[in-house]
Amino acid sequence: MAQFFEFFQAHVWLFVALGVVLALLIANEVHGNLTGGKRMSPAEAVRLINDRDPLIVDVRPLAEFKRGHLLNAFHAPLGKFDEYLGQLAKDKARPVLVYCALGVSSSTAVEKLRKNGFAEVYPLRGGINAWSMANLPLTTK
């Protein structure tokens, strides 16, 4: 135990940085749960897709969408998202899975969908990058 305290005293800034990083991670999770509701992991999203046939919305720019997206995804880039709300409103009864590249900017689309009467809207935690890291399929069609 004495060695730990000696190490701590020699590397105080490392422990301060660790504390800051942990606090930011916890704050990010709490903020996401308070504002964005439940964020789905790729595995949970697969279960949703298989069981409930959600409307899948990709909010990334067109160039990224063309490089690969989830099967049957509707492309509604975040910059022009308001223009696509009318087309999406036809399916308000279906659950909606929204994703972007990293899972950060999709929260804006989630908020807009909820304000427009969509009851079940779920952002994909980690975005399409998490989907790809889980070795789940993408399509370019």
pLDDT at position 52, please? Answer: 94
pLDDT band at 132 (very low <50, low <70, confident <90, very high): very high
Q: Is 100 a catalytic residue?
A: yes
Yes or no: say if 44 and 136 are a contact pair by the CB < 8 Å rule: no
pLDDT at position 115, please? Answer: 92
Two structure tokens written together for 75: 């492309």
pLDDT at 36 over 80: no
H or E element at residue 87: helix 81-88
User: What is the pTM assigned to this prediction?
Assistant: 0.75
Identified catalytic residue from 45, 76, 88, 100: 100
What are the sequence ranges of the domains in the chain?
Answer: 2-33, 38-133
More confident residue, 48 or 5: 48
Residue carrying structure tokens 């308000």: 92
The answer as to CATH 3.40.250.10 being correct for domain 38-133 is yes
3-state secondary structure of 38: coil
